[in-house]
Amino acid sequence: MRRPARYSRSPRSSPPTEEVAEDTIAPEAGAPPGEAAPSTAPRGRAPGRAALALTLVVAMGAAAGAGYLWPRAAGHTLTQKDIDAAVLRTLQTNTLPSPAAKAADIIRPSVVRVVGYGEEKKTPEAKTEKRGRNMAKGKPPEADGPPGEVERGVGTGVVIVDKGVILTNLHVVAGADKIRVTFFDGLESPATITGVQPENDLAVLQAQKIPDDLVAATMRSTADLRPGDQVAAVGFPFGIGPSVSAGVVSGLKRSFRSPEGKQELGNLIQFDAAANPGNSGGPLINMDGEVLGVVTAILNPTQQRTFIGIGFAVPIENAASAAGSPPF
């Protein structure tokens, strides 16, 4: 698209005009050459004085107008010191969003709440999660839900294809009679499992209804990821969210064995951004809002299932392959 021409806002000067002195009087018709017509100026007043005054006015106006044409002094040239001072003043007088806040804004439209319904689990972990969900809702820890459908697991998912394809953890939806997902705009939809990768505790869901403006997350290779890189975890801890916690990559290629000892996961990203039950299946992102992995586990030597500073995520290379579309 062609850009319109830009024009200077400087005043435009008028073309010069010939000045005719009013005290020059043309000889009357029939007068001899070299003789001027008699002056009609009043007595006692020198002929041409009015014309002289008019000439002075014109000359002064021309001098004033010449100011627009006279070369102006060059403006102050900005130096690096001036630029640094302006940037410093901006930083001191304006509150800029944190990198984690900007990253969360980018990923938020792609994060969904995942709930599995069915017979309530009786495991210690399920009871801990239930107490946490009840307390988060302001209910007594051991309160039961309404009769009918029972939330047997609450987790998080991330949209990887804008047609409603969602990645989450397998343990969030395993054994559920029904699965429902809630999108960023509040739209709720039933979902079905279309693929699983048990060795990485991953499941792929397909939502039956999707928002018109659904945005898929951008995935980023972990090949250049290093300990110390900033990351953020986005999800629904104990059903509250979407919530954001920030930290750094603590280590790479870690292994984790489930508390029951039934499964061991390998090649995991270790991070220290706060994660709790309900964060499972949510995205671990960099400061550009790109998905590096899927949060899958937390390490706690007790049975409390609360965060003590060590979380694990499945690298996105493994997670995307669960959906049959390795991005790298």
Q: Which residues are marked as active site? A: 171, 201, 280
What tokens were used for 17? 């005009």
Distance CA 192, CA 204 (A): 8
Nearest to 274 by CA among 252, 298, 293: 298
Mean confidence (pLDDT) of the chain: 78
pTM (predicted TM-score): 0.68
Name the DSSP letter for residue 304. S
* Each residue's pLDDT tens digit, 271-328: 999 999 999 999 999 999 999 999 999 988 776 677 888 999 999 988 777 666 655 5
Average pLDDT over residues 206-213: 95
Return the domain boundaries, the chain: 101-322
Angstrom distance (rounded) from CA 322 to CA 251: 23
Q: How far apart are CA 223 and CA 144, in angstroms?
A: 46
Q: What dihedral angle (degrees, nearest 10) is formed by the CA atoms of 207, 212, 216, 217?
A: -110
Fold of 101-322: Thrombin, subunit H (2.40.10)
172 alpha carbon, distance to own chain's centre? 29
Residue 14 tokens read as: 């008028």
Per-residue pLDDT tens over the stretch 135-148: 655 667 666 665 55
CB neighbours (10 Å) of residue 83? 10
Tens of pLDDT, residues 161-180: 999 999 999 999 998 999 99
Q: Quick one: pLDDT band at residue 26, thresholds 50, 70, 90?
A: very low
